[in-house]
Amino acid sequence: MTPTPSHEAAPARRGPIRAYLATGILFSLAAAWLLLLTTPDTRDDERAFTTATACTAPGGGESDCLRTVSAVIDRTEKETARKTPAYWLHITEADGTSTRTRIETNLERLPAARPGATIEVTYWQDQIRYVDFGSDRRYTNADPRKAFRMPFTIGLFLGAFGAMLLMAAATTSWSSRHSPRAFPWQVGLAVTGGTILVVFGVTAAWNSDNIVEALRLTGLAGLVVLAACALAAPFLHRRHRGDDTIVLEPSVLTEEVCFPGLIMGEVPYAGDAGYLVAGPGVLATTPDPTGAFHRKAAPRTLTPLRVRPPYLTDPTGRPDYDGRAVVVECEDDGVPVLVVTRKKDAPAVLGALGPVPAE
């Protein structure tokens, strides 16, 4: 069985390329909306709130000033579906208005937060922004300070992840003209570098009070990641040269073992059973994880030719085993047969069938 020509892999990769492009463009557009519109708006709200002054008109006629009113605590209600302490504070203001606000703090530790106590609540733009329990001030969930961090972090995450997907589309398109591998190293390198950049960008965004500084740090990190990928590319290219053959030593089997695997091909013992049983001179498929029932044994005429990575030109339904799959190319009286399993289990397949013939 000869290796699949590399130019045949191009049509099979059109689906993943289109998926990478579509998702990458979608994420990039969402990131642009968050970074260019939502984040600046929340940052402006923060500045306006921190520079707002107390209302001077009776009743606080302007919503952009800080309007403080007295209120009496009716009751507190703890939110049980949260890991961090959060309480709903139910109050009645001096004019008889009843309302509630959520505070992410443990009100049980505040003596002044007992029912019947008098407190002061401060409004800004018609929402309660903080509550004064005597000398203790607690901000509500409507606190606009640092509210920009959430859209900024999500936007930077989506932007970096979208860029990673677009790079994966480009590398997949390029590799399709050079290799039939289902998981080419070029795509793996792009995904690894992109993941590092995503983690760094999210960390910088969430822990920064300065948007420009966080973007600058993320940009510098991107340059470092690109440089590291450029240094790693020649090493990975040399490592993956050749015909993709993976050299594995057969296991010496003294008893039968059962593991995930599949036999594919135009042979009666192929199918979607899901498990393989390998033993001394025995290779069989079975749907039973214990390997005891409904076994279909492969004949002794099944001969291994080589072990290789998965190809996109493999038959539909080939399992990937979370990227750990390998394919044992075999032949049964001239009929091509593929045995797919995890790399760590492939030596047991070779132990059952016999070693790959030396070239």
SS in 3 state form for 226-238? HHHHHHHHHHHHH
pLDDT in tens, 102-149: 998 888 888 888 999 999 999 999 899 999 998 899 999 999 998 999
Contact 245, 307 (CB under 8 A): yes
Instruction: For residue 307, count other CB atoms closer than 10 A to its CB.
Output: 22
Each residue's pLDDT expressed in tens, for the chain with a length of 359 residues: 444 444 444 455 566 778 889 999 999 999 999 999 999 999 999 999 999 998 887 665 567 899 999 999 999 998 877 778 889 999 999 889 999 999 988 888 888 889 999 999 999 998 999 999 988 999 999 999 989 999 999 999 999 999 889 988 888 777 766 667 767 777 788 888 889 999 998 998 888 888 888 889 988 998 999 899 889 888 877 776 667 788 899 998 999 999 999 999 999 999 887 899 999 989 999 999 988 888 999 998 999 999 998 887 788 888 888 888 899 999 998 999 999 999 999 999 999 998 776 65
Separation between Cα atoms, residue 164 and residue 259, nearest integer Å:
34
Give the H/E segment covering residue 98: strand 98-103
Q: How far from chain centre, in Å, is Cα 169?
A: 17
- Please spell the DSSP secondary structure of 204-216, one letter per residue: HHHT-S-HHHHHH
pTM attached to this predicted model: 0.68
Longest dimension (CA), the chain: 97
